[in-house]
Chains A and B, each alone.
Chain A
């Protein structure tokens, strides 16, 4: 069964710092990987989708990479802002959809 792990579980950084969130998965047979943002008590907002044939995707200050063979993905956030504070989830799609454990990010003004 696919297991998706995110490290660190929580992260606190001062405003303006660049940061990296990590996601690892045990089964490399995936169709795609998505990164989501979840604000407290809210639904999910899709940030980036990487198809299994792709190695990275970029949107604004966000860059996500995928190394399927090693079962890893990273989400890079440049020049962090307080508004980036949220929980970030990665999810992989294989036969089913599997979510990671999440990273709670706090950006301190």
Chain B
């Protein structure tokens, strides 16, 4: 099946700094990618839909100025958590469709 990668797999940062997470489709092109967040012992929640060449679509309650999404090419979407705070600590997963949805391995963000 298709492969989606994420980088980094984990990151620890200080409160107030910004963190960039990359999502790449390795062997297919994706005009759309999805970003999810998962808090401990909770299900995945869709944060936003990343659209190549246009603005991302954010789910209700997700601050678009805080979670910047850039879909620069057909194989890369980035999520930047700006001015991160401890409550942003979470597991972030991206997915991209190629017939079915393929998921990245996730990025664990810890904000101190």
- On A, residues with C-beta under 8 Å from B are 32, 34, 36, 41-44, 46, 49, 89, 91, 93, 96-102
Contact = CB atoms under 8 A, between A and B. Distances in A.
Interface stretch (B38-46, B61-69, B80-88): B38-46
A107 B32 CA distance: 37
A85 to B, nearest CB: 15
A93 B108 CA distance: 25
Nearest to B99: A49
A46 B91 contact: no
B101 interface: yes
Interface in B37-95: 43-46, 49, 91, 93, 95
Contacts of A101: 43
Contacts of B36: 99
A36 B104 CA distance: 13
